[in-house]
Chain A
Amino acid sequence: MQILIAHNSKEPIYEQIFHQIKKSILANELPAGYALPSMRNMAKDLEVSVITTKRAYEELEKAGLIYSVVGKGSFVSEQNIEMIIERKQKVIEEQLSQAIKNSKEIGLSLDELKEIMTLLYEEMD
């Protein structure tokens, strides 16, 4: 598992941790049942406070991505992964529809739109 923290980012550190773990879970890099490091251990490795990792884990739990067993730790949830991906795809479809609508308004062709998207997609890697 890889987590990179930017201390000078505007995004709070617990959100950075939340998003990166979420991404790893949705990409199936962290399979269901995977045992996450303890909050205290992660805090030490990332050189952040325990309350920060605690908040990140709480948010992940709220989102149904992980679950905790008292005394044993936190694990990646089994259920829902497909549902989450499906939900995410729906959001993507909606966002793309909006982009297509905007493109049509200014007469942008499909090829031109694809070109913009390819550029942006590659930029983000």
Chain B
Amino acid sequence: MESIIQFTNVNKAFNDFAIKNLTFEIKKGFVTGFVGANGTGKSTAIKLLMNLLQPDSGEVKVFGLNYKDHEKVIKQKIGFVYDDHVFYEHLTLQEMKNLIQPVYTQWDDELFYKYVEQFQLPLKKKKLKTFSKGMMMKASLAIALSHHAELIIMDEPTAGLDPVFRREFLNLLHEIVQDGEKTIFFSTHITSDLDRIADYIVFLHNGELIFMHEFYTIAEKYVLVKGGLDLLDPDTEKEFIAIRKTKMGFEGLSSNKGRVMQLFGDLALYETATLEDIMFYTKKGGEKGVSIS
């Protein structure tokens, strides 16, 4: 399968935070969710991907090209979907389009008006500053699709949107990937969105890659184990990323489902670990060693 984005050993250090040896690939024609708690480096990674930041070392390639020699070609094929800041607020959508259109060699006017109609966006009657968050999202997506972007990058696209709009929005993403030519990469921490759309998950923690997998393999690898405290000793505790202990018993996350289920057998209770569980326990495990209370 063709890779659209390639991060190879990317490092980027700030005073109090660093992206460390980030290596991953994003496949063409699929939807990849980019997850991690706040402040784990998602936005920095997206800036590196957009060439708004340059790595201290390592390489970022998009469409197999590097930014140093091919920035213009790459940028023509990327659609960055964002809910604010990008647009000039005092303009209408029509005026905004007129401003953006000349930048893109592949601009398709007919397509733009088709999406405006489909998304029910006001072209001339309203200024962008009066657009709701959902409308801004749609306007931004309409523009990205109208210049035939092959890679659509979105930073927290569904944050702050109501559930009805979120469902509609995810359906739209399904439509976009129908032809298998377009690739979507989006960061989120609304993990229920990922259930319905994400093919791959890139999970970042403290500037480091925890994993990059097909979404369904998470349920095959990770498991939430619950049981009595008597099951725990220094050896069995090693099987867990983190354990939460109370007087009632323990709850722990393991990334080695097969082994812990064999180890504890019928003595423990097993639950499918959600991405939220994995985010929570990975963070706690990193802070305090294995045990948390």
Q: Residues of A with Cβ closer than 8 Å to B?
A: 7, 10, 12-14, 40-41, 43-44, 47-52, 55
Please give the distance in Å from B133's CB to the nearest CB on chain A: 22
> With A50-B31, A51-B214 as given contacts, are A40 and B180 in contact (CB-CB < 8 Å)?
yes
Per the bound structure, the CA–CA distance linking A51 and B196 in Å amounts to 11
User: What B residues does A13 contact at CB under 8 A?
Assistant: 216
Is B216 a contact partner of A50 (Cβ separation < 8 A)?
no
Contact with A along B136-178 (1 / 0, CB 8 A): 0000000000000000000000000000000000110011011
Contact with A along B183-226 (1 / 0, CB 8 A): 00000000000011111100000000000001110011000000
Q: What residues on B are CB-neighbors of A14 within 8 Å?
A: 216
B250 → chain A closest CB, angstroms: 22
B174 touches A51 (CB 8 A): no
Please provide the 7 A-B residue pairs with the shortest distance between their CB atoms, ordered closest to farther. A51-B199, A44-B174, A49-B199, A47-B196, A40-B178, A51-B214, A50-B199
Interface residues of B: mostly helix, strand, loop or mixed?
helix
Binding site for A on B (CB under 8 A): 29-31, 170-171, 174-175, 177-180, 195-200, 214-216, 219-220, 272
Q: Find the B residue at minimum CB distance from A38.
A: B178
Distance from B58 Cβ to chain A, minimum over Cβ atoms (Å) = 27
Do B216 and A12 have beta carbons less than 8 Å apart? Answer: yes
Q: Least Cβ distance of B243 to chain A in Å?
A: 23
Q: List 6 A-B contacts (CB under 8 A).
A: A40-B180, A47-B170, A47-B174, A50-B31, A50-B177, A55-B214
Residues of chain B with a CB closer than 8 A to A44's CB:
171, 174-175, 178
Q: Which residue of A lies closest to B33 (CB)?
A: A49
Give the distance to chain A from B76, nearest Cβ to Cβ, in Å: 25
Q: Once bound together, how far apart are the Cα atoms of A43 and B179, in whole Å?
A: 12
Chain B residues contacting A48 (CB-CB under 8 Å) are 195-196
Cα(A33)–Cα(B174), bound, Å: 27
CA distance A47 to B31 in the complex (A): 13
Which chain A positions have C-beta within 8 A of B272?
A: 10
> B77 CB to closest chain A CB, in angstroms?
21
Residue from B170, B216, B219, B220 within 8 A of A51 (CB atoms): B216
Do B219 and A40 have beta carbons less than 8 Å apart? no
Chain A nearest Cβ from B214, distance in angstroms:
5
B146 CB to nearest A CB, Å = 21
